[in-house]
């Protein structure tokens, strides 16, 4: 006797999904007007470009490290401010701890609207209003970073359940008691893991957004690309790669320790 492994409706939905993907694939190719000749020519140029990238120069290393530090500081300040705002608002928005349902719904809609706008647009708006530089980077990253943390914190608060919240309220505790004595101690390690992960992402975003005027090492990389200075460009890419690799290793260790402590 054969035992069905998956549900028939699930199989049907999977087949429908892949069928739609296949049907849409060809029209998408024609819409973008992709050229096989252009693709082949680009592939043929890769060896020449790779030879140019094999050049490396240490002359701009001090400047690259200085600008990299600027990028990390921009990300750090953005995350710190975002954490403060997100901690205040997520407990107001979460269904478990919301003091007013109507206010929570309005704030939730605002967060959704902020999240639908790409980070690049926020940075460009900040650059247009404040000019190029680090201030525009901090301000531009503040909105998407805060909205991401609010959504993440709110989801964790709701998943934690209402047991501790209801117990504190039954003892006559106020909303501040619920937040400070009930929710935060329970979710402390989870919040720290989310903050570490978000900081890692924000540093990577800061490097990219520096190319559109947010300050930091991205500005230098954009200059090297514009003037075809491959030797310092490769050095900059290596500096960014090593930094992000070490940062990922560090945040992974932090998350592992936090998870082991939570258990």
| Confidence (pLDDT) at 132 | 86
The rounded mean pLDDT for the chain is: 85
**% of the chain with per-residue pLDDT over 70:** 92
Q: Is residue 164 one of the residues assigned to a domain?
A: yes
Instruction: Kindly state the helix (H) or strand (E) to which residue 215 belongs, with its residue range.
Output: none
Mean pLDDT to the nearest integer, 134-162: 89
For residue 230, tell me if it sits in a domain: yes
**pLDDT surpasses 50 at 41:** yes
Candidate from 63-67, 78-82, 138-142, 214-218 with smallest mean pLDDT = 214-218
Expressed in angstroms, the distance from the first to the final Cα of the chain is: 42
| Domains contained in the chain, number | 1
Q: Are 140 and 127 in contact (CB under 8 A)?
A: yes
**Residue 89 scores a pLDDT above 70:** yes
What pLDDT is attached to residue 7?
Answer: 63
Q: What is the chain's alpha carbon radius of gyration, rounded to the nearest angstrom?
A: 24
Residue 185 has pLDDT above 80, yes or no: no
Q: How many CB atoms lie within 10 A of CB 83?
A: 20
Is it the case that residue 143 has pLDDT exceeding 90?
Answer: yes
Residue 10 lies in a domain: no
Structure confidence by residue, pLDDT tens digits, 16-35: 888 988 889 888 888 888 77
Inside any domain, residue 23: no
Q: Which of 112, 195, 204 is nearest to 156 (CA)?
A: 195
The per-residue pLDDT for 215 is: 85
Residue 95 has pLDDT above 60, yes or no: yes
**pLDDT above 50 for 1:** no
What pLDDT does residue 195 have?
92
Examine residue 45 and state whether it is found in any structural domain, yes or no: no
The boundaries of the domain holding residue 215 are: 61-262
What's the Cα-to-Cα distance from 238 to each of 54, 84, 221, rounded to whole Å? 12, 33, 11
pLDDT at 4: 52
The answer to whether 91 and 97 have CB atoms below 8 angstroms apart is yes
Is residue 208 within 8 Å of residue 218, measured between CB atoms? Answer: yes
- Mention every residue, 6+ apart, whose C-beta is less than 8 A from residue 232: 57, 59, 60, 64, 220, 224
Looking up residue 135, the CATH number of its domain turns out to be 1.10.3720.10
Q: Grade residue 149 by pLDDT with cuts at 50, 70 and 90.
A: very high
Query: Is the per-residue pLDDT at 171 higher than 70?
Result: no
260 — pLDDT class (breaks 50, 70, 90): confident
> Is position 188 within any domain?
yes
User: Is the CB of residue 184 less than 8 Å from the CB of residue 194?
Assistant: no
pLDDT, tens digit, 9 for 90 and up, residues 191-241: 888 898 899 899 999 988 888 888 889 899 999 888 888 889 999 999 999
């Amino acid at each position: 006797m054969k035992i069905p492994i998956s549900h028939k409706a699930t199989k049907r939905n999977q087949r429908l999904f892949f069928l739609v993907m296949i049907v849409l694939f060809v029209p998408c190719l024609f819409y973008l007007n992709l050229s096989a000749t252009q693709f082949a020519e680009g592939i043929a140029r890769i060896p020449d470009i790779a030879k140019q990238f094999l050049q490396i120069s240490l002359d701009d290393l001090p400047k690259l490290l200085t600008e990299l530090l600027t990028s990390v500081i921009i990300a750090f300040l953005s995350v710190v401010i975002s954490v403060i705002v997100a901690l205040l608002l997520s407990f107001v928005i979460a269904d478990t701890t919301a003091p007013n349902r109507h206010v929570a719904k309005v704030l939730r809609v605002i967060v959704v609207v902020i999240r639908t706008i790409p980070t690049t647009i926020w940075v460009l708006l900040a650059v247009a209003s404040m000019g190029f530089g680090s201030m525009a980077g901090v301000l531009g990253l503040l909105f998407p970073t805060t909205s991401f943390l609010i959504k993440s914190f709110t989801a964790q608060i709701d998943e934690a359940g209402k047991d501790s919240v209801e117990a504190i309220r039954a003892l006559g505790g106020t909303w501040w008691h619920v937040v400070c004595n009930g929710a935060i101690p329970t979710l402390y390690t989870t919040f720290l893991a989310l903050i570490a992960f978000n900081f890692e992402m924000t540093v990577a975003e800061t490097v990219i957004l520096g190319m559109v005027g947010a300050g930091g090492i991205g500005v230098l990389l954009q200059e090297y690309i514009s003037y075809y200075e491959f030797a310092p460009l490769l050095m900059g890419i290596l500096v960014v790669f090593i930094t992000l690799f070490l940062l990922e290793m560090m945040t992974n260790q932090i998350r592992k320790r936090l998870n082991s402590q939570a258990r």
